[in-house]
Amino acid sequence: MGPVGKQSPSSLPVPAGGSCLILLFCLRLGASCPQSCQCPEHAGAVAVHCSARGLQEIPKDIPANAVLLKLDANKLTHIPNGAFQHLNQLRELDLSQNTIETIGPAAFSGLAGGLRLLDLSHNRIRRIPKDALGKLSAKIRLSHNPLHCECALQEALWELKLDPESVDEIACHTAAQEEFVGKPLIQALDSGVSFCSTHRKTTDVAMLVTMFGWFAMVITYVVYYVRQNQEDARRHLEYLKSLPSAPVSKDPISPVP
């Protein structure tokens, strides 16, 4: 028999258990990225790209170590509560160019501390969800939404950190005051306009109208009461006049013996 040559490392048999572990590891990595999305990883951080995938809801299997999540140009209409609560490492969230109309009050729970940018531009948001956005420290993009400019919107904006690069593109699609329809919201606010003062004036007018209505009702009741009493008094007087009078004797009263 000739000498047995040394086997190269590549030709050494791999234990069956090891191959199974490797296979399971690969499957786990593959399953950690949502279907039809791409999840490139760099230095342990994952960027999840799900742009323009026709998604109608937010994927459930987004990697927990994602730092960037792009869900733009999809068909999302609603952001439910707790949609991103397991993504505490997320730094940037792009939800632009969808058809989002409503956002749950706890939609961004778990992101308050780390999120740096939230893009909600180019959607169908009419009213700012103050409860959902008020606790975020991230820069928020809200341009190109059909916002209704009113007191509630103004109060919500006071608590938000708007992205300075897009803040001038936020416009009033509708407004409590017709003269501001189609105009930039920040321009209107910078000019000293307060939608809340208009709201308070409207409330004051409503209160005055209500008070006047009550006052008119009281006056009407008093007049009715007086007239009713006058009518009762007149009828009583006529009744007394209609009573026959007792005959009076002309003879003097004789003294009693």
Q: How many structural domains does the chain have?
A: 2
* The token pair that represents 2 in the structure block: 């000739």
CATH of the domain at 78: 3.80.10.10
What pLDDT, on the 0 to 100 scale, is given for residue 251? 54
pLDDT (0 to 100) of residue 47: 97
Element (H, E) at 46: strand 45-49
Query: Does residue 231 share a domain with residue 156?
Result: no
Q: For 15-44, what is the mean pLDDT? A: 63
Residue 5, pLDDT score = 47
- What pLDDT score was predicted for residue 146? 97
Question: Confidence class of residue 126 from pLDDT cuts 50, 70 and 90?
Answer: very high
Q: Model pTM greater than 0.75?
A: no
Is 242 a member of any domain? no
What contacts 12, CB < 8 A, 6 or more positions away? none
Question: What pLDDT band is residue 29 in, cutting at 50, 70 and 90?
Answer: very low
- C-alpha distances out from residue 169 to 66, 80, 143, 144, Å: 29, 26, 5, 7
Measured CA to CA, the distance from residue 124 to residue 30 in angstroms comes to 34
Q: Assess whether 177 and 129 both reside in one domain.
A: yes
Q: 24 or 63: whose pLDDT is higher? A: 63
Residue finishing a domain among 192, 216, 251: 192
Say if 101 falls within a structural domain.
Answer: yes
| Same domain as 77, residue 117 | yes
User: Do 71 and 178 reside in the same domain of the chain?
Assistant: yes
Tell me: do 87 and 108 sit in the same domain: yes
17-26, 153-162, 204-213, 239-248: least confidently modelled range: 17-26
Residue 91 sits in the same domain as residue 155: yes
The 10s digit of each residue's pLDDT in 221-256 is 777 777 777 777 777 677 666 667 655 555 555 555
Does one domain contain both 216 and 100? no
pLDDT by residue (tens digit) across 37-74?
A: 999 999 889 999 999 999 999 999 999 999 999 999 99
Residue-range definition of the domain harbouring residue 223: 195-235
